[in-house]
Structure 1
Amino acid sequence: MKCTRTLKNLSLIAFSAIAIPYAAAQENTTTQDTSAWYGGLNVGQSRAKIDDASITNRLLTEGASAMSINNNDRDTGFKIFGGYQFNKNFSIESGYFDLGKFGYSATTTPPGTLNGSITLRGLNIDAIGFLPFTENFSGFGRLGLNYSQAKDSFSGSGLAAVASSDPGKHDLNYKVGMGLQYRLTQALAMRAEVERYRVDDAIGNKGDIDLYSIGLVYRFGEKTQMHAAVYRPAAPAPIPEPTPEVVVVINQPPAPPPPIKVVFAADSMFDFNRADMRSDGKRFLDEFSANLKSASFDLISVTGHTDRIGSHDYNMKLSTRRAEAVKSYLVEVAGIPSNKIDAKGVDGVDPVTKPEECKGNKVTKALIACLQPDRRVEVEVTGTKK
């Protein structure tokens, strides 16, 4: 086994995790009392660094060389511990640990074998510093001492024969570690941590054993502060003062006036079966335009109508041309913007006369005269009077 530079880094990190929270706890003496005794158990995997170079050198001193070396460098380890939590940042902890058994098997030239194993267990005492991240979750680092018992066992054949097969040794070394802790309940918490134990074997070698473990921690005698209940008679409910009645009057906006509709007889504005405007029709539109000067309007709708005589297509074209003629005059002469006038033709779909008033479908002078009210141009203005 041998020591690596990782040990120095791990030691510095663990010492910082202990020292910084402890200093903060000394400055803040008004924090909540979290002191308590606790105990726990961790189980995990232990890992050793077996020094194959030292084994090879030992064989060379005996006049042999190693052909192959097989290592058993992992085992199951555990620890049982107890401690006292002084505050939320600092505790002292001690316990018993068993790091498991490790070993190697080497074959040699000239033919022979060398087998070695070591078991490690002992006692420890650590100072632990906690760094709370939240109320229930914290990180921690540890720095302490371990008093370990190393029991070695060796066997060999050929030039690798051993004189002492079962040496043992007790020694005091340091240990470091870090981990995370999450409190499941007020009394029970879970830990996950990694620790490095500095150990000696029984033949003068030093090295490190790493223990990766998880476990549970139980706090004894949780302190619960009880507050005496003080009876105070309930104050009488205040008598509400009468709320004055508030009458809200909402001024409703006046209803918009109905649209202004003017109906011009088509026969008075256009010759029969024609869409060019007569002089009388222009005079009617001049009077209509003059009245618009005293009104504020949004849209003028011009709708041309025909009677039922004639085909649908012909009447649609005629009624549309008459509506467009009225629109053009209002734009060119009265100066009304084109986008404020909508012109369309609707054939004879909306007659003024009733079927019983003008009977028959044969085109006669009497039927043409009877259907005269249906031939019209309606101008509807949507707006208000100024």
Structure 2
Amino acid sequence: MKKVVLGALLGLSALPAVANEGYFSGEVLLGKTDQELKSDFGDTDGDDSSFGIRGAYNLNKNVAFELGYMNHGEIDDTYIDEFGDTINDRFSSTAFNLGVKGVIPFENGFSLHGRLGLSFWDVELEETDSAFPGETFKGDDSGTDFYYGIGAQYTINEQFTIGAEYTLSEYGIKSGGDFTGLDADIDVKTLALSAGLNF
């Protein structure tokens, strides 16, 4: 994943040579992420505060290439399974996102946008089961899946922007490694506010 991110940064740095109308921008994102883990052993869900940073090369007023990092927070859920045992699941996820933003600008500084790209995600899971006292199952997995989203932005002046966005992704965990015997999907839904700076 580090090679992919490094390659993306080098690619973004080369863009001014082919499009001198563009400019760079950076954003800080704060929001709430709902995560739902769905597997054959049961479902676990919850939400937590999330945060991230994102850099972009704005090719023109309609298209931007983006690279960002999101920490989706931690979910801690306790439930009774079909055997009457108490299960506690705690999991968290992070992602590097590489994608494209399409922008529809309006008058007075407002714009709508859509996002599409790839999430290079990492998930950590910790589980206890009352049927196995004193034992803790731990797992760590990573992969690549698509993300997409919609949002709105207001340009305060030439330098500063604020916005709101809703982003969706699904991380597919396949049985193997730390997750032997577990196939699962994690639905990740993030509603975030952003503050940006144009360079």
* Structure 1 length-normalised TM: 0.42
Mapped partners of 2:82, 2:61: distance in 1:
60
Alignment match, 2:110:
137
Alignment match, 1:195:
167
Contact 1:35–1:86 (Cα < 8 Å) also in 2: yes
Mapped partners of 1:132, 1:179: distance in 2:
12
- Which structure has the greater CA radius of gyration? 1
Name which of 79, 83, 87 aligns with 2:60: 87
Alignment match, 1:179:
151
1:1-386 map, 5 Å: 35-51=22-38, 54-56=40-42, 73-108=46-81, 112-158=85-131, 165-201=137-173, 202=179, 203-220=182-199
Contact 2:34–2:45 (Cα < 8 Å) also in 1: no
- Cα offset for 1:35? 1.5
Q: How well do the aligned residues superpose, as a CA RMSD in angstroms?
A: 2.4
Does the C-alpha gap of structure 1 residues 125 and 173 become closer, same or farther in structure 2, counting only changes over 3 Å?
A: same
Instruction: Answer 1 or 2: higher relative contact order, Cα 8 Å, separation at least 6.
Output: 2
Does the C-alpha gap of structure 1 residues 135 and 109 become closer, same or farther in structure 2, counting only changes over 3 Å?
A: closer
**Which structure: greater helix fraction?**
1
Q: Specify every segment of 5 or more residues in structure 1 that has no aligned partner in the other structure, as ranges.
A: 1-32, 57-68, 221-386
Mapped partners of 2:82, 2:116: distance in 1:
45
| Post-superposition CA distance 1:302-355 (Å, at most 9, x none) | xxxxxxxxxxxxxxxxxxxxxxxxxxxxxxxxxxxxxxxxxxxxxxxxxxxxxx
Q: Specify every segment of 5 or more residues in structure 2 that has no aligned partner in the other structure, as ranges.
A: 1-19, 174-178
Contact 2:40–2:183 (Cα < 8 Å) also in 1: no
Mapped partners of 2:184, 2:136: distance in 1:
16
Alignment match, 2:4:
none
- Cα offset for 1:50? 4.2
Does the C-alpha gap of structure 1 residues 83 and 162 become closer, same or farther in structure 2, counting only changes over 3 Å?
A: farther
- Cα offset for 1:106? 1.9
Q: Secondary structure at the match of 1:186?
A: coil
- Cα offset for 1:109? 6.8
What percent identity do the matched residue pairs reach? 21
Aligned residues: 173
Mapped partners of 2:189, 2:134: distance in 1:
29
- Cα offset for 1:206? 1.5
* Structure 2 length-normalised TM: 0.78
| Post-superposition CA distance 1:147-172 (Å, at most 9, x none) | 111000011122x6697611100101
Mapped partners of 1:199, 1:101: distance in 2:
15
Mapped partners of 1:144, 1:110: distance in 2:
41
Q: Secondary structure at the match of 2:137?
A: coil
Q: Secondary structure at the match of 2:59?
A: strand
